[in-house]
A and B are shown apart, each in its own frame.
Chain A
């Protein structure tokens, strides 16, 4: 938890050379995007109807998916951290699966569950006429499926690391369980919730595989930014690069925001 106070020394070459290579490997592709970007046409590329549709759709669906994750994910995190029930390890593993599952596989799994012929989807379709594939809510489902574990795991970790004596003290002073959660627990884990939400939003924004597999690919309805980048690869490459830069820019902003988040949590603990 505390910062290490070792003196900074020049790294030996067996460390410095591979480290420099790693930096080059990670940085060069991003530099490539920036250098090869069609800067002179950037504004017109980004304000074309297809780009604006993708931008709007991405912002709306990522925000909605983050909202879904907040409403469902924080209670789940609490259950995993504090709940005492059999099979908790299994549930935790289940929550982690979407993190490591290739998103395309997630998309197929979603189709088999919520698709028109899926185990739940067929009843949704026959009883209520609800079909998620090829709709904007379908995009939100795909993004929430892939991104929610980021929030659950971040918040669960925070709850586990929490000093329960503060909550116990509040309880002995007569606070109800709800009051303890609202006035003591929540403020303590708030920084982690915020960090988790930012990560969730970022992951939802970048979601490609599950979205294209489950929700399809249609301009204005399901074609989010990453899908528009892929479509751009088939047609105009400069379109793809311009939209990629938008995603890169958002990612950088999120990283910077998170860094501040970490610094604050680091200083307060």
Chain B
């Protein structure tokens, strides 16, 4: 009995090293007839694009019957690492030029275009413990601030935001992506989170946004590119074109992005 129990536990040991990483396993099928789009593509997109790209994907599928767009949302830098490690992506939409450059630099994508511009905003819980009403409040002692970790575009933007306004902010946590920052705000665990304007808009009434004046704010450009190794390059290109088209731009503007 004891032996059997301990050997069951030994099996659990194998699960020790890591729990929680996400994986994607969609295989793209290629288009057949020229001129007619079909098949499935996988789009790797920054977390902050979740709402707008989900809407764009649905509209694209409706406009092109027989096609399917699958999304993998995550921190741009994680996605970039996965793409350079040959993850089966067809399109990459990043939250920073620097992240896109690591992918194009590795030869995994070419011809990236900026399709949207985002700015930062402070998200606060609806019932604040420590009220935050301005950017300067983030540097006050006792105010708990969540930001993205420095290697992630939203984290780099937060660092730049604090630097250019000469603020000394000590965050209580550096989250892995922007949606994790937002969830800490929604739960009221922090007094403020530095996120994108679009995240505050997407979170609706679960958070209260504190706008950052334009002259203090930083902007982030979002580039998109088809992946060179795509099994369905025609569909990948069509999706990129759709994001850049009036229809795609409309969905992005509705989500709070500015056009490039």
Q: Give residues in A with beta carbon < 8 Å to B.
A: 1, 26, 99, 102-104, 111-112, 115-117, 133-134, 150, 153-154, 157-158, 160-161, 192, 195, 199, 202-203, 205-209, 212, 216-219, 222, 226, 229-231, 233-235, 237, 244, 247-248, 251, 254-255, 258, 262, 265-266, 269
| B188 CB contacts on chain A under 8 angstroms | 115-117
Which 5 pairs across A and B sit closest by C-beta, in order of nearness? Answer: A216-B173, A206-B16, A234-B151, A209-B20, A134-B172
> For B1, B6, B13, B171, which residue has the most chain A Cβ atoms within 10 angstroms?
B6
Q: Is the CB of A157 within 8 A of B151?
A: no
How distant is the Cα of A244 from the Cα of B20 in the complex, in angstroms?
Answer: 15
Nearest Cβ in chain B — how far from A137, in angstroms?
A: 14
B1 contact from A150, A157, A195, Cβ within 8 A: A157
Q: Contacts A199-B9, A234-B75, A234-B152; is A208 near B173 (CB within 8 Å)? A: no
Task: Return the chain B residue nearest A227 by Cβ.
Answer: B176
Nearest Cβ in chain B — how far from A54, in angstroms?
A: 13
| B174 CB contacts on chain A under 8 angstroms | 216-219, 231
| A133 CB contacts on chain B under 8 angstroms | 172, 189
Nearest Cβ in chain B — how far from A232, in angstroms?
A: 9
| B136 CB contacts on chain A under 8 angstroms | none
The answer to the question of B220 belonging to the interface, with a C-beta cut-off of 8 Å to chain A, is no
How distant is the Cα of A255 from the Cα of B16 in the complex, in angstroms?
Answer: 11
Give the interface residue-count category, chain B. 35 or more
| A195 CB contacts on chain B under 8 angstroms | 6
Q: Is the CB of A154 within 8 A of B5?
A: yes
Task: Return the chain B residue nearest A258 by Cβ.
Answer: B10
Nearest Cβ in chain A — how far from B28, in angstroms?
A: 24
| B5 CB contacts on chain A under 8 angstroms | 153-154, 157
> For B129, B146, B184, B189, which residue has the most chain A Cβ atoms within 10 angstroms?
B189
Task: Return the chain A residue nearest B75 by Cβ.
Answer: A234
Task: Return the chain A residue nearest B127 by Cβ.
Answer: A117
| B35 CB contacts on chain A under 8 angstroms | none
Q: Contacts A216-B146, A233-B78; is A262 near B3 (CB within 8 Å)? A: yes
